[in-house]
Amino acid sequence: MRTAAETEVRRPSAVRVLTALLALTAAATVVVELLNWWYAPEQGFGLAVRTGWAMLRSLGFLLLIGHVRRGRTVARPFGLILAVTTVFAVGRLIVPRQGVPPLPGLAGFAALSALCAAVVWLLYRSPALAGHLVRHRPRLVIDRSGISWRETPPRRPQVSGWLLTSRVAAFTYSPLMLVPALVATAAILDGRLAAAPAVLFWFGAGIATSYAVLLCTAFLMRGKRWARTLLVVVTLVVLAVDLPLCWWLLGLDGLVRDGGPLVAAAGLTLYGLRRATRAERTPPA
């Protein structure tokens, strides 16, 4: 049985570098969001909601540190979608409604983008990390020796990394719909009572999307071909519902700030499905 000290020694140096980089990225996310809030000409309800959502991503980087240290296979797709959506979430808050962005905000965004790019590069280009991120989550196992909690490969067929990426990206649909829906409640508070049914529908659609994605990805991980088609349909429906509501209730500014991250997540989902399908059709050398 390996001790914790032995496990720490056996970890590649790339793991320690990536862990430090993720901690720095989490801190940079908070600092950049505070800078954006400080220099924002309008510190309204919408900016507060978007800033809070962006700052929550720092917790995502801390969670990713745990996956990396434990060598979990999910670290790669989780890190990719977290880095991409963080850049979009922070970038949408830098540009004001009028005028040019403040220099400190631009500098912070550039630094955060560089950190996110470095995270993705290490996750997908480091051979040491590729050999380290191979473990699965521990499960409760009942066998002849009794009941134990240990790492066990999933019973489902082995899936490609691109399918895992599509799965993680699709799980962001629901929060990316609920955040602008929450921002749109300000329209009701301002007296636009006619927007109330649309906002309620938006919330309902966001919650329903989480269940639809959960159903699709559950069968997607089991190698069901029809689940890929269903996930594409869900993605298109989500875009068809969310983008017009962003335009109508939040205007062009809301369409860019809130619709942009969802389009990025949808594009990553569809790209992952396409790459996975192409890899399965290509015969091994």
- Tell me: the pLDDT tens digits for 34-67? 877 777 666 667 777 777 777 778 888 999 998 8
What whole-number percentage of the chain has pLDDT above 90? 26
Nearest C-alpha neighbor of 209 from the set 252, 262, 160:
262
- 190 phi and psi, to 5 degrees? -85, 0
Q: Which two tokens stand for residue 154?
A: 């999933």
Which residues contact residue 245 at a Cβ distance below 8 angstroms, ignoring those fewer than 6 apart? 180, 181, 184, 198, 202
pTM score of the predicted model: 0.74
Q: Residue 241: its pLDDT value, please?
A: 95
Residue 256 is given by DSSP the state I
Confidence of residue 12 (pLDDT cuts 50, 70, 90): confident
Which residues contact residue 261 at a Cβ distance below 8 angstroms, ignoring those fewer than 6 apart? 85, 88, 89, 92, 176
Q: What is the pLDDT of residues 205-245, one digit of tens each?
A: 999 999 999 999 888 888 788 999 999 999 999 999 999 99
Confidence of residue 278 (pLDDT cuts 50, 70, 90): confident
CB 247 within 8 Å of CB 239: no
Q: Alpha carbon of 122 to those of 15, 16, 80: distances in Å?
A: 9, 11, 11
- 150 phi and psi, to 5 degrees? -145, 165
Q: Angle 215-221-227 (CA atoms, 0-180°, nearest 5)?
A: 50
Mean per-residue pLDDT over the chain, rounded: 81
What is the rounded average pLDDT of the residues 162-186? 88
Confidence of residue 253 (pLDDT cuts 50, 70, 90): confident
Q: Alpha carbon of 185 to those of 27, 37, 250, 273: distances in Å?
A: 30, 20, 10, 35
Q: Residue 242: its pLDDT value, please?
A: 95
Q: Residue 156: its pLDDT value, please?
A: 55
